[in-house]
Amino acid sequence: MAAQEELELDTLEGVGPVTKQKLEESGIYTIMDLAARGVGEVAEAINGDSAKATELINKARAKLSELGILSKDFVSAKELFKKRQSIERITTGAKSLDDLLGGGVETGAVTEFYGEFGSGKSQVCHTLSVTVQLPKDQGGLEAGAIYVDTEGTFRPERIAEISEARGLDPAKILDNIIVAKAYNSAHQELIIREVGRQIESSKVKLVIVDSAVAHYRAEFLGRGTLAERQQRLNRFMHQILRIAEVYGIAMVVTNQVQSSPDFFFGDPTRATGGHVVAHTSTYRIYLRKAAKSRIARMVDSPYHPEREVVFVIDNKGVDDPSEDMPKRRGGS
Ligand code: GTP
Ligand code: MG
């Protein structure tokens, strides 16, 4: 990884103090941020000059290649294989659920947990912000978490309980979770723009947005502007996918649905092709209640067969069912 100074915006030819400030005001703090943005966004940041925006983005990308950070646009399958091997995983707290995910929640990808109210989405998020801190040999990444709380449901007491049940020091665990409360969708978008900076300045490997959709749903309710909502939500999703890829962190989002899956990432049955990136980097797990336990199903994954597993929620957060309960179910 390049040194921090090498990624400073003003090391780029054509970025003076004024441009730097404008870029920063739009949440672009490093050359990496710049390289990851689209021309429209950068142009907007620097008063609408798209020619200059294009030039800056190209320069940023060239600089990253020079530093060996950005691999070429076309990579060999061998390189791709190597890249996939560098992916790290965070245990969810339950072996069954880890199995379903191919070993845990992946870095460099967006994982969406969706389901009805009370299906356990927020509990999964709480548990992950603890388990990401575990030593690597116990399924963690020895790193902190950022928890973007949009529904006001983050509970530090619950983090303390889960930590204690897992034999961890609650004070230490709580200290490594940065909580950002988002009051509306615009605020949520602003927070996400700041996230890159936070990731760089503190050791963070997991970013949670619980829930990613609640504000959009509430604000666009009954306005008849579904298209606008989808557009904003899409932009948000692409933004967080970019952050996951650029910083190599695990991005976990939740989405409440009423009984049938929403169109969060588009129609899950749609053929592969259009949104290749979203398709290759995104996992969707459908959660539902079943008596005292929870059932998780991987939907629409390029790497995992569709099947269901059982887990429970107890004082350790997400946990494996006890021995006398069925561990696995066939697909439904
Ligand atoms: P919405 O945000 O309303 O859509 O629901 P959600 O999917 O986020 O549900 P959540 O993760 O909040 O799960 C709620 C369920 O988890 C409850 O019905 C309880 O069964 C369980 N739960 C929540 N808090 C605790 C706790 O402190 N201890 C235990 N053992 N279980 C809990
Ligand atoms: Mg919740």
Same domain, 119 and 58: no
Same domain, 135 and 278: yes
Q: How far, in Å, from the CA of 209 to the mean position of ligand 2?
A: 10
Sorting pLDDT into bands at 50, 70 and 90, what band is 75? low
Same domain, 276 and 151: yes
Cα separation, 195 vs 36, in Å, equals 14
**For residues 278-300, average pLDDT:** 81
CB of residue 158 inside a 6 A radius of ligand 1 = yes
Please give the residue that has the higher pLDDT: either 293 or 217. 293
Q: pLDDT digits over 157-166, tens only?
A: 999 999 999 9
Full residue range of the structural domain in which residue 203 is found: 87-329
Q: How far, in Å, from the CA of 122 to the mean position of ligand 2?
A: 4
Q: Which of 1-10, 24-33, 36-45, 95-104 has the highest mean pLDDT?
A: 95-104
Q: Does residue 58 belong to any structural domain of this protein?
A: yes
Number of domains in the chain: 2
Same domain, 50 and 175: no
Q: pLDDT digits over 175-192, tens only?
A: 999 999 999 988 999 899
- Is the pLDDT assigned to residue 94 strictly greater than 90? yes
Same domain, 179 and 235: yes
**Ligand 1, atom nearest to 124 Cα:** 11
CB of residue 127 inside a 6 A radius of ligand 1 = no
Same domain, 61 and 105: no
Same domain, 168 and 42: no
Q: Does residue 277 belong to any structural domain of this protein?
A: yes
Q: Does residue 76 belong to any structural domain of this protein?
A: no
Q: Does residue 74 belong to any structural domain of this protein?
A: no
Same domain, 144 and 291: yes
**Predicted pLDDT at 261:** 47
**For residues 44-52, average pLDDT:** 92
Same domain, 137 and 48: no
Same domain, 29 and 140: no
**Predicted pLDDT at 26:** 85
Q: What is the CATH number of the domain that holds 47?
A: 1.10.150.20
Q: What is the CATH number of the domain that holds 252?
A: 3.40.50.300
